[in-house]
Amino acid sequence: MVQLERGGIPSVAIVSKVFDSSAKSVAGAMGMASLRVANVPDIVTGLEPDMIRQEVEAALPDIYRILTTPAEGCVSAPVELAAPPASIEQFQGMDQFEALRDMNTTFLKNQWGDGFPVEPPTRQAVEAMLTGTSRNPQEVIAVIQPGFGVATVEKIAINAVMAGCRQPACLRVLIAAVQAITSSTYPIRSLASSSGPYGAMLVINGPIAKELEINSGRCAMGPGYASRVNTALGRAMRLILMNIAHAYPGTGNDPDTIGSARKYSQCVAENEAASPWEPFHVENGFGPNTSTVTILCNRGEVDASDEESDTAEGVLDSIAYYSCVPQFGAYMVSRHGDNDHRPHIFVLMAPEHAELIARHGGWSKQAVRTYLHNQAKMPTERYLKRLNKRPEILRPEWRWVLKADPNTWMPMVESADYFHILVVGAHPGTGRSIVMHGFLPVTKEIGD
């Protein structure tokens, strides 16, 4: 990290008053605790240019004062890639139940919990979890944004125990998940620190799914005994984002406006046995006997129900229809969709649908993607309504849409490869697939 000593270039951040504490929180997490801020009354992104100019001009005296006043100390300090071993907290009561209740109350007040009771991460429980890997407990797996927390094997294990993970092998899954979510192609900082309700979803492939009994069938994304491991793994990922990445709700590192249940726990295994196609991880270059975890960014899911169609085209037309969300599609043409924010669509396809499409219709997975890309389209007019016809937020190659016929149809995503097909759910069952909208998925091998 670059260290800016006293005497550097004076600077000030112009921030909406409602985001003042969030801005300072993010600045602190990025090593700029002394960042100076000038406030304006409103969030300027939704204002007319004249109103923006008026609010900024009103803030000029404050901006001038800040820029002409020497800053105290350094703006930032170097970061050492290390983390101290976990400290010990003690809780007492008339019995274990009272001590457990006190622990949960304290953890929740400190934002170490997600609102549900957590398992006590005792030394014995954490040491048992650590037997799931051959790695040193103090080995640094990654530094996780937005808070730049140092994720050691031990700290990942602690959150696994708190989430209710029972089998030590869960630790290997979570280590790989942390590696995936900190990949250079996964936009973890902007997603974790967004005002939108993004959720990180784990998809497990390979032998470890059966070893851990991760549910890939009925109600795989739901509650209950069958999904107990799914729930614990997904919950552990959320606790890791909170307790290691410091993405605590209500702070600048997680200023989510409303929130969503998808932020609690999301984990499934692909139903490889019911899939007529090669598994998702094999499709992405891994061997069939290799265990992998894929991180999907779930921005929202839709129940793509079609229990009536008896042809592949009929089912895929329904899925294409449910794939069309104007707000999400606008990412394709706007600057917000640059680099790793290009929209991707994930189809968690029910085995019933996959059976009809592949075995009876003879469709390959690539044919499915191509068809969905060609059918999942919206009129240009709907894109422009979402973009408010603001040419400055359009990527240069898409500015032609401002002059296009409003009835020109445009795809939801740039390429057929931006559709991802995974078979999940019960078989036999009914034709109810799920369409999820998100960004580039990242897959990592689950190692030792």
| 215-220: average pLDDT | 95
Reply yes or no on whether the pLDDT at 383 is more than 80. Answer: no
| 94-115: average pLDDT | 94
Angle between helices 49-58 and 60-67 (to 10 degrees): 50
Between β-strands 432-438 and 300-305, what pairing exists: parallel, antiparallel or unpaired? antiparallel
| 49-71: average pLDDT | 82
Reply yes or no on whether the pLDDT at 429 is more than 80. Answer: no
Angle between helices 228-243 and 170-181 (to 10 degrees): 50
Reply yes or no on whether the pLDDT at 91 is more than 80. Answer: yes
CA atoms of 140 and 381, how far apart (whole Å): 49
Question: Under a CB-based contact definition with an 8 Å cutoff, are residues 121 and 93 in contact?
Answer: no
Q: Which of 146, 214, 225 is nearest to 174 (CA)?
A: 214
**Predicted local distance difference test score (pLDDT) of residue 46:** 63
Reply yes or no on whether the pLDDT at 4 is more than 50. Answer: no
Q: Which of 364, 370, 399, 365 is nearest to 384 (CA)?
A: 399
The 10s digit of each residue's pLDDT in 17-51 is 777 766 776 676 666 777 788 888 877 766 778 88
**Predicted local distance difference test score (pLDDT) of residue 360:** 83
Higher pLDDT, 326 or 7: 326
- ∠ CA 62-68-71, nearest 5°, is 100
DSSP labels, 364-431? -HHHHHHHHHHH-EEEHHHHHHHHTT-GGGB-GGGGGGGGS-TT-EEESSSSGGGEEEEE-S-SS---
Higher pLDDT, 26 or 213: 213
pLDDT band at 277 (very low <50, low <70, confident <90, very high): very high
Comparing 37-51, 121-135, 172-186, 266-280, the range with the smallest average pLDDT is: 37-51
Average pLDDT score over the chain: 87
Between β-strands 267-269 and 292-298, what pairing exists: parallel, antiparallel or unpaired? unpaired
**Predicted local distance difference test score (pLDDT) of residue 389:** 61
Reply yes or no on whether the pLDDT at 89 is more than 70. Answer: yes
| 267-280: average pLDDT | 97
DSSP labels, 325-375? -HHHHGGGTBGGGSGGGS-EEEEEE-HHHHIIIIIIT---HHHHHHHHHHH
| 171-182: average pLDDT | 97
**Predicted local distance difference test score (pLDDT) of residue 72:** 64
pLDDT band at 394 (very low <50, low <70, confident <90, very high): confident
CA atoms of 298 and 221, how far apart (whole Å): 13
The 10s digit of each residue's pLDDT in 118-150 is 999 999 999 999 999 999 999 999 999 998 999
pLDDT band at 85 (very low <50, low <70, confident <90, very high): confident
The residue to which tokens 């899939």 are assigned:
275
pLDDT band at 6 (very low <50, low <70, confident <90, very high): very low
The 10s digit of each residue's pLDDT in 338-360 is 556 788 999 999 999 999 999 88
- Interior/surface letters 120-138, b for 16+ CB within 10 angstroms, e for the rest: bbeeebbeebbebbebebe
Residues 6 or more apart whose Cβ sits within 8 Å of residue 268? 201, 202, 203, 204, 214, 215, 216, 220, 221, 230, 348, 424
Whole-model pTM: value is: 0.86
Reply yes or no on whether the pLDDT at 52 is more than 70. Answer: yes
pLDDT band at 8 (very low <50, low <70, confident <90, very high): low
| 189-195: average pLDDT | 84
Using only C-alpha atoms, the chain has a radius of gyration, in whole angstroms, of 24
CA–CA distances in Å: residue 165 to residues 47, 122, 155, 405: 47, 13, 14, 55
| 239-268: average pLDDT | 91
CA atoms of 422 and 106, how far apart (whole Å): 40
**Predicted local distance difference test score (pLDDT) of residue 350:** 95
**Predicted local distance difference test score (pLDDT) of residue 34:** 74
Residues 6 or more apart whose Cβ sits within 8 Å of residue 22? 251, 252, 255
Reply yes or no on whether the pLDDT at 2 is more than 50. Answer: no
| 247-251: average pLDDT | 88
**Predicted local distance difference test score (pLDDT) of residue 115:** 94
| 303-316: average pLDDT | 93
